Each structure stands twice: as C-alpha cells, then as structure tokens.
Amino acid sequence: MISVLVIAGSDSGGGAGIQADLKSLASIGVHGCTAITCITAQNTRAVISTHPLSVVALRDQIRAILDDIQVMAVKTGMLYSKEIVEAVSLELRDIGCPIVVDPVMIATAGSSLHVSGFVKALVKHLLPLTTVVTPNLDEAKALTGIAIGSVEDMRRVGEALREQGPQAVLVKGGHLKGELVDVLFDGEDFHTFAGYRYPQELHGSGCAYASAIAGYLAKGLEVVESVARARKRIAIGFDTSYTVGKGFGIINSAYVEDRWQVWQALREAVKELLTFLPPDLVPEVGINIGFALPGADGYRDVCALEGRVVRVGSEVVAVGPPAFGASKHVARIILAAKKFDPAIRSAMNVRYTADFLEKCGAGGLTLGSFDRAEEPEGVSTMEWGTQQAIRSLGRVPDAIYDIGGPEKLPMVRILGTTPREVLGKLRRVVVSP
C-alpha cells in the first residue's frame, strides 16, 4: 500500500485539516499517516481556539512513522509557528521523496492559522526542500509581497516563489475574479489549468487539493499530471459537496467514483423510456441517452448505449447495453453543457418536429438552438452546437435543437442532471395530463 505522511493541524469540525487530508488520500487509494501540529477547536463557521503541540510531540510522531513505514510523499498543511516549521524541516531534510507544501495561513472562515515568524521560517527552511508549493492568492502575496490581480501576476508570483527554492509552484486562482485559473510553474514552463468557477467557497478544498497532489506524486506521476488529476478530484468534490453545520459547506474529498451506480441508473432509465416513448419520436439514426460521472472530462467517463433505441415496426426497442465510452456523440453534448453547469450530466436525442417544439413550449421547457450553416470547419458539431445554443440563451436550456443541414437530420437534444430528470422533461411533452 502506498503511504503518504501528512503533517498538519486537526479540524474538530471534520471539514479541513488532517481530516480532509486523510479522506482525500483514501479516495485515490493511498494510505495516510499523520503527524498533528495543532489541535483546533473549530466548526463550519469559525476557529474558536488553536492549541499547538510541543515540538517534541510533533518530532516523535514524524520519527515513529519514518522508522517503520516507507513514505512515498509528504504533505504539509497548517504548521502555525516558526518553531514547528523549523522542526518539520529538520526531520524532512533527508526524506528522499516528494514534499507538497500547502502554506496554510487563514481558515476559510477568515481566522488566522499562523503566528509571527511563520512566513520567514517557511521561506528559509521548508521551501528549499519542497517539490510543489500550493499557495492561494493571499498566501502567495504573503510569501512574495506581490499583489495579484491577473493571470499575468500569478505567473510573476510563480517565478518569484520558484526562486525561493521549491521545484514547482502552483498558484491557485480561486479568489481571482473572472475565469477560474490555476498556474503551475515548474522552472521551465507555465502550465495553465482552467475550470468552472463554482458559486460557493467550501471548507477543506485547499487541503484536499494539496493532499491529492501528494497522493498522485506518491504513485509515481509527474508534477503536471498530478496537478491535473488532483484538480479533477476537486471538481468532483465541489460537484458532490455537502453541509453539516450552519456555516460553510464542505468539499466531498472522500468521493469515490461509482461507475456501477451510473450504469445502473442509465439501464433503469432506458427500461422506463421504452414504456412511454412514442415510436414517431425515434429518428432514423435512433436515440441514445447518456449519463456522466461527476467531474467527467472525457467520453470514457460517460455511460451510454452501445447500440441505440430504434423503431422496429410499431415498437421501440433498445439495441445493446449501457457501457462507458459507448457514444462520443452524446458524450460531447453532455461534456459541452457541463462546462457551463457541472450539474448537467445527462442528455438524449429525439426526432425533431415543429409539433414537438410547440409541445415543449407548452410544457414549460426552455429551448435553445444553433444553425449548422454557421458551423466552422474542423469542429465537433455537437460540442460547438451545444456551446452556441447555451451562449445565445445565456444558460443551459432544457432542450437544444437544430433544423439540420446537407445530409444532416434535424434533431432535438434534451438535457438534465440525471437520466430520470431527462425522462421527466420528455414525459411533460409526450404524455397528456
């Protein structure tokens, strides 16, 4: 079993700190060992008090682990004080494995998680040992003195921090206005990671992010790939976040991909679809329906029918079982819509008719459309068309249609969060009250 040592503080509310670290590592199949630096009394609203452990207690924890367990990476979180930073640096100086440093300074709720002397000690003692340091914008400013108002500023900070010793710097842009962008500088190249900006700030996201990076490094991945995979984990954690208290929500750092659940939900939806789908809504090319995993970023993350739903005489039948990666066509629709609203995970196509569109309007469904005549060369029709329709409307509609083109059938695509929601929208159109 691959093991990672986490040196960080304990969050009594269970949303961040050591608790989030362990959940994040376990979700990607890595064993987490811990050396606790501080015990915090906190909940989802505030940090009530902080109780640092003695340097001796911290040192003994680290030595106990390294004496017995082969650690493949180290992740540090809340270190709190100059004395703790110095002690940790001393114990890790000959560790011989990747070290990920999350320079935790302020809790999500705004409470300070460090004391005077911490920043200078971090720069002097720990950053020179670091493989990847992962500051947010406030932490990056504290470490470099550079205010950040743009992606270009993030690059400047990356260069400045790299000069302080770490092999790579990941500047997180969660607090920057506009498109969500993280910038990784590895000493030679800048790597930009763009993603959907979620409308809420979550407890534990920074901890889970850095721990996932450490976990992937421990598995032998390079830095760029580790960051890319960790970002996907964080996107999934935001997609499936939850609340336990009266304050900030908590990132679901423990989420484990459940392909069987998605497969089963799609199979049941297809069975239900066959009970009420009018045969005249089946186009010549057939119908497919897809359901994506949370955080899906490729067609292999989307389950669809290996065949299609087709018309045989006066009956409608499904040809082929659900399978992941079965349809690039329906996957492109879902993945394009998810860029605007990550909750959209399902889509299906049905035959286009003017009567069907009229019934959609009567049923309260919002409609978007695109014109195939405006399609640029060399693009995917489904990806481009879906994005065009959403941008024109300003949001993800219930259905997107086009009137076809040369050798292209007109079509309607119904979108939703789940196959059941997609079928519910279709029922509102085809089933009389």
- CA-closest candidate to residue 140, choices 125, 155, 128: 155
Tell me the per-residue pLDDT of 286-318, one tens digit each, with 9 for 90 and over: 999 999 998 888 999 999 999 999 999 889 999
pLDDT at 108: 63
- Checking if the pLDDT of 217 tops 80, the result is yes
Q: Give the C-alpha separation, 407 to 245, whole Å.
A: 56
Q: Give mean pLDDT, residues 368-375.
A: 92
Domains and CATH numbers, the chain: 3-250 (3.40.1190.20), 259-430 (3.40.225.10)
Q: Give mean pLDDT, residues 121-127.
A: 95
Strands 346-351 and 309-312: unpaired
Rg (CA), the chain: 25
Q: Give mean pLDDT, residues 380-405.
A: 93
pLDDT at 178: 78
On whether the CB atoms of residues 215 and 234 are closer than 8 A, the answer is no
Tell me the per-residue pLDDT of 232-281, one tens digit each, with 9 for 90 and over: 999 899 988 999 999 999 999 998 888 999 999 999 999 999 999 999 99
- Checking if the pLDDT of 142 tops 70, the result is yes
Amino acid at 247: G
Tell me the per-residue pLDDT of 96-107, one tens digit each, with 9 for 90 and over: 999 999 999 876
- Checking if the pLDDT of 433 tops 60, the result is no
Q: Give the C-alpha separation, 264 to 252, whole Å.
A: 22
Helix (H) or strand (E) holding 306: none
pLDDT at 134: 97
On whether the CB atoms of residues 246 and 260 are closer than 8 A, the answer is no
Q: Give the C-alpha separation, 180 to 178, whole Å.
A: 6
| Least trusted range by pLDDT, from 6-10, 74-78, 197-201, 365-369 | 197-201
pLDDT at 109: 61
Q: Give mean pLDDT, residues 372-401.
A: 93
Who's near 291: CB < 8 A, 6+ residues apart?
A: 262, 265, 266, 269, 302, 303, 304, 345, 346, 418, 419
Mean pLDDT of all residues in the chain? Answer: 93
DSSP symbol at 22: H
Strands 289-292 and 346-351: antiparallel
DSSP symbol at 54: P
Please give the structure tokens belonging to residue 333.
């629709």
pLDDT at 136: 92
pLDDT at 432: 57
pLDDT at 177: 81
pLDDT at 380: 87
DSSP symbol at 126: I
- Checking if the pLDDT of 159 tops 80, the result is yes
pLDDT at 377: 86
